[in-house]
A = this chain, B = another copy of it.
């Protein structure tokens, strides 16, 4: 019923001040506008402007529609621009979020390098999401989510970035430093420090402790890796982290680390994207860059931490 065409007409009319002038700007005839506005007024049951004045003056109803147009049309234009960029392929948007709590080391260089290669792409990065990032990705509010546990949401595709080893970080004086790998039973008397997320999204529970039926003595939360490291270093507990997240602290001798189980505990980090974005060139490039950089980082790390 009411259409954007009408709002465009009204806004133009306000700027033009007369039907004749407005019709020229819209590449229509004066007659077309006269008819269009008359029809609209008829359907709405109100007059929208006073024709006898010069420049034209709007009624309260007309002003209300002008306000609507002022709010709505810029949004529409923005959306149209976004679509153009989408279909163009060169430019575009890459709004990211990370679900894993310690990806900064390899993600930041990736983003830097990507920004240089694709300056036209609008990159945005959000960490510390309150809302679930994967549904937001499906809704189109995000374009890429780094996560270690894929959920089956239609339309989403998970590209594996790399496999990492989860290791147990322990204080340098800790009794477990004598072992060269950790068994589930070893953690029965320990305080385990975790990121504040549900248990069933932590590999150490789902892959290691629960299969063996072991429960740690206590579970504490910490939001930042550095806080975990401080707690671990001071002997207040142990924590399970990807090896690359601990490297820095290992190198400085703050803490020690041991593999979980005889064969180690491995997880995979994925980039979740919408299926239909998979063939966009800039996204492909981002994924390749991410793999390259994270692989390079990871290589060094495993050598250091396993040795």
Chain A: number of interface residues, binned into ranges: 35 or more
A65-B83 contact, Cβ under 8 Å, with A4-B2, A154-B53: yes
Q: Knowing A3-B3, A5-B3 touch, does A274 contact B140 (C-beta < 8 A)?
A: no
Task: Name A residues whose Cβ lies closer than 8 Å to a Cβ of B.
Answer: 1-5, 44-46, 50, 53, 57-61, 63-68, 71-72, 75-76, 79-80, 82-84, 86-87, 139-141, 143, 154-155, 274, 276-277
Interface SS majority for chain A: helix
Contact B154 A83 (CB under 8 A): no
- Which B residues are CB-close (under 8 A) to A66? 140
Oligomeric state, in number of copies?
2
Query: Contact: A276 with B59, CB < 8 Å?
Result: yes
The distance in angstroms between the C-alpha atoms of A44 and B83, with both chains bound, is 7
Beta-carbon contact of B63 and A140 below 8 Å: yes
Chain B residues near A1: list those with CB within 8 A.
80
Contact of A87 among B5, B61, B87 (CB under 8 A): B61
CB closest chain-B residue, reference A70: B139
CB <8 Å contact, B154 and A63: no
Chain B residues, Cβ within 8 Å of A140: 58, 60, 63-64, 66-67
A75 contact set on B, CB distance < 8 A: 68, 71-72
Q: Tell me the bound Cα distance from A57 to B68 in angstroms.
A: 31
The 9 tightest CB contacts between A and B, nearest first, are A63-B140, A68-B79, A45-B87, A46-B87, A59-B276, A57-B155, A61-B86, A3-B3, A72-B72
